[in-house]
Structure 1
Amino acid sequence: MKKAIFSLVGILALTLTGCQDNREANMSPNEVYIVNSNLVAADVYNTGYDEAYPIGVYKSGYVNETAYADITVSDAALAWYNATNSTNLKQLPADCYTIPFGKVDFLSNQVSGLYNIIFHNEKLIALGSDLKNYVIPLQLSKSNIQINYGKQYSIVSPVVKAAYVSMGRAGEIALQVDKNTKTLLADLPVSVQFKNNWNLSIDFASEKADFDKFNTTKGGALTLLPEGAYTYTPKVVMEQGKKSVINTVSIDKAKLSYAFYCLPVRITGTSMEKMVANPDAAVSYITINTLLPIPRNLWEVVGFSSESVNEGTNGPAKLVLDGNIDTFWHSEWGGENATSGKDNWITFDMGQEWILGAVSITPRQNNAGAQIGYVQVSNNASGPWTYVGNFATSGKTVDQTFPVAPTACRYFRLFLPANGLDPNGKTIVSNGAKTANGMMGEVSALGGPVE
């Protein structure tokens, strides 16, 4: 019985030994290699300070053991790359970089390490456009374990990039208006791609020029969010070691009327000279649309300068309220009652008092000549009239919306001055264009109830 047991133990021992031998035979031996092998574009940000770029070195294999890897700047590596790729790259001048340690050491259980190159920012910039012809050719030249010769070279090509500070939500940020929400919040994340070794102060401002530019893309339909209706921090600090920070805009809904509002927020500068706003991601445009369509079921046209009898079934002013964009009002252009080249207007009664925030004009469909004028409001059909904003259709046939200063009124008038000037004597459009005749397909308005 004892002999049988000893025999069984012996068989198991031989079997386990055989399995271990087979497992080790099928596993890769320990080796080291450069992770960023072949040609590597090394982004170096123009912060005005030297910047470290890491080259990853890896140790693989199944046996835990200490190891080292020597990495050197190598003429052989450069010659190999140029011959293989038919290039004529040159070695980067030695004063453009520093390599603090030419060796990577691995603990027995460590599988990765870093080899750092310190780039000297100003020296790289001094090379100008010629920088693209220079590289640092690196070779994993020596180790106490096997070297993976397919991954022993790294040809490092430094690329200088601007140290941009960017809005994470550049462009339009449309806030949803909830009747139960008293305060609207918009988070504006700001980020950098470079390593932030400083407490970086970032400045913000809202500039009218940004609003005007964005408003043009919206067909002039926006109203600048009034000061006093919002707050944000004009200067925030991105703490050392962090690559992002958030500036929050808070908007008091109680201070808004009925309008399509916009607030531009721009990065205007930082505490570091070289770290500047990204020109493609410097501005966020916060929009809040509180406008509602004003029902037209009680509307009437109660006044006009003239209406044409020379347009067949078209011409009457009331046609701008018939819901058909193919019919139109046209001022009289022929005969003794013609108002061509004179002031023209059309007056509307909305049936009750509303907050008027914008007017919409659908041009005549078969001849969408530009209509240039201004909007006046009153609580009496005969005035007095208060000027609240301008309009200038584009000459396209689509419906076009024009914001006005939100005002409570029952009546509004679209006035087309022959001289192209608003009531303050300013040209309505920059080129001084004028409207010879009044002609519109449909007119509607946006705003809200008087509370």
Structure 2
Amino acid sequence: MNSKFKNNWFLGLMCLLSACEIEDLEVPNSSDYSKVYISAAVENPVGFTVAVKDEWFPIPLGVGYGGLTLPQNDLQVKLLVEPQLAAEYNENNGTNYPLMPEDSYELENDVLTILKGENSSGNAIIKFNPLRFTGLRPHILPVSISEVDGQAQINEDLKTVYLLVTGRYEENPFTKFSQENWTIMDVSSDENDGPTTGGRAHHAIDGSLDTFWHSQWRRDENGNRPGHPHYIVIDMNETKPIHGLELFGRTNQIGGNGNPRDIYVEVSTDGEHWTGTLDYVLENTASNTIYFPEVLEARYFKITVKASHQDVYRTHIAEIEAF
């Protein structure tokens, strides 16, 4: 095809298309294809991560009108929090997100208006306070269109938005527990490393950073010494809500080897039945603060060290605190 013929063919096609004006295309019952929806529901779930503090964080929610036409009259769209949909969402998606507690959220201006000839509304505001959640793990809140006043259908696929909010602590807001009545319930191994330091397990809860628990480092009669995993189990001698732990490294080994790196934490109320929290990776720093994904009732907690920094066989912890 030479260039002159190609140009003529293109111009002819454009003339043909220009002869068909948009208004000449009529779709029967075109309003049936135009529906109201929650704009944010296109991205379900909608995730946010915020600092956990006693503040109310706002999330704007708007509704839209999409299809072949624009509304011929004003539409009043009412939003509603639907807690019962959280369980359905978890079942359908293989998740176990807890519902935001009732006192942790507020929906403001829950009726939105899409004006005649417009395709979107202003915003409703839903506020939430993450300090009132049950912990740091993501909490879910379903918000739906409950009704539309103004002769419009609801897009069932975009009727509900699932807000998923995860908290993070910028600093520890909790008070440390007293170690005064704590005892060691069990330990995988420990070591007496001298009269002034000592590697006994009880040094991990004696309130001093100058002493530490050290897994056995001397070889036994067969020339062996235990490797990972190492563990220590602490009895607080009372059951209380626990949010997390702070672990202090051996002061003369910060940045060196032996401080815990990969750990797993479990808690128990009776010392027999245990609830796992998470796997944690610790930095090789003076201390590491870890938070449980939710607040747990516990009298006992068990720290299992699965690997130490620089991949040595041993581990040591100067101090363990809980809050």
Using the size of structure 2 for normalisation, the TM-score is: 0.50
**Match 1:187 to one of 50, 53, 58:** 58
Cα pair 1:187 1:246 within 8 Å, conserved: no
Look up the equivalent residue of 2:321 and give its one-letter code.
S
Cα pair 1:331 1:437 within 8 Å, conserved: yes
Map 1:15-414 → 2, pairs under 5 A: 172-176=50-54, 185-189=56-60, 226-229=98-101, 245-250=123-128, 256-257=133-134, 259-260=135-136, 291-310=174-193, 313-336=197-220, 339-368=225-254, 369-381=259-271, 383-414=272-303
SS of 2:202's equivalent in the other structure is helix
SS of 2:253's equivalent in the other structure is coil
CA displacement at 1:335 relative to structure 2: 1.5
Distance 1:292 1:315 in 2: 28
CA displacement at 1:225 relative to structure 2: 7.0
Distance 1:417 1:387 in 2: 14
Partner of 2:314: 437
Look up the equivalent residue of 1:187 and give its one-letter code.
P
With CA pairs under 8 Å and 6+ residues apart, which has the higher RCO, 1 or 2? 2
Distance 1:417 1:370 in 2: 8
CA displacement at 1:297 relative to structure 2: 2.2
1:7-50, CA deviations, whole angstroms, 9 ceiling, x for partnerless residues?
xxxxxxxxxxxxxxxxxxxxxxxxxxxxxxxxxxxxxxxxxxxx
Cα pair 1:305 1:344 within 8 Å, conserved: yes
Distance 1:405 1:172 in 2: 16
**1:407/1:263 Cα in 2 relative to 1: closer, same or farther (>3 Å)?**
closer
Distance 2:246 2:218 in 1: 28
CA displacement at 1:346 relative to structure 2: 0.7
Cα pair 1:264 1:285 within 8 Å, conserved: no
Structure 1: 5+ residue runs without aligned partners?
Answer: 1-169, 177-183, 192-197, 202-223, 266-282, 421-432, 447-451
CA displacement at 1:171 relative to structure 2: 6.7
CA displacement at 1:173 relative to structure 2: 5.0
Cα pair 2:267 2:300 within 8 Å, conserved: yes
Look up the equivalent residue of 2:204 and give its one-letter code.
V
CA displacement at 1:188 relative to structure 2: 2.5
Look up the equivalent residue of 2:59 and give its one-letter code.
L
Distance 2:276 2:207 in 1: 27
From the CA coordinates, give the structure whose radius of gyration is larger: 1
**1:190/1:304 Cα in 2 relative to 1: closer, same or farther (>3 Å)?**
same
RMSD of aligned Cα (Å): 4.9
1:101-127, CA deviations, whole angstroms, 9 ceiling, x for partnerless residues?
xxxxxxxxxxxxxxxxxxxxxxxxxxx
Cα pair 1:231 1:250 within 8 Å, conserved: yes
Distance 1:332 1:304 in 2: 11
